[in-house]
Amino acid sequence: MDLLEFKWNAYSRYIHSVGFFSHICYLGVFSMFVVSEYVYPIDMAFLKNPLQIFNFFCLLYPFVYDMTQLAKQGVSKYLADPWNYFD
């Protein structure tokens, strides 16, 4: 158990924390975009472009993470894992 805790604290905590907060940020910005696009299309029209730009930056981290995984594993091994098709 101590070894797992050390590896989590030393290697994985930061990466997964950044991924988690990136995902939460994306969900918040995407929700605001949907509200501004479909619920209040006229009143919040000034927010559309900044929200799209911010949404793009929220999606950069998962894209870079997956491309790094692809580069390290190779195409055949990356595509052999069915979970990567959801990414």
Based on DSSP, count helices (H) and strands (E) in the chain, helices before strands: 5, 0
Single-letter code of the amino acid located at 57: F
Residues ≥6 apart with Cβ < 8 Å to 52: 33
* Rounded Cα gap, residues 36 and 40, in angstroms: 5
How many whole angstroms separate alpha carbon 28 and alpha carbon 63?
18
Tens digit of pLDDT for each residue in 57-70? 888 988 998 899 99
Average pLDDT of span 8-25: 89
Give the pLDDT of residue 46.
66
- Cβ distance 69 to 78 under 8 Å? yes
Mean pLDDT in the chain?
A: 86
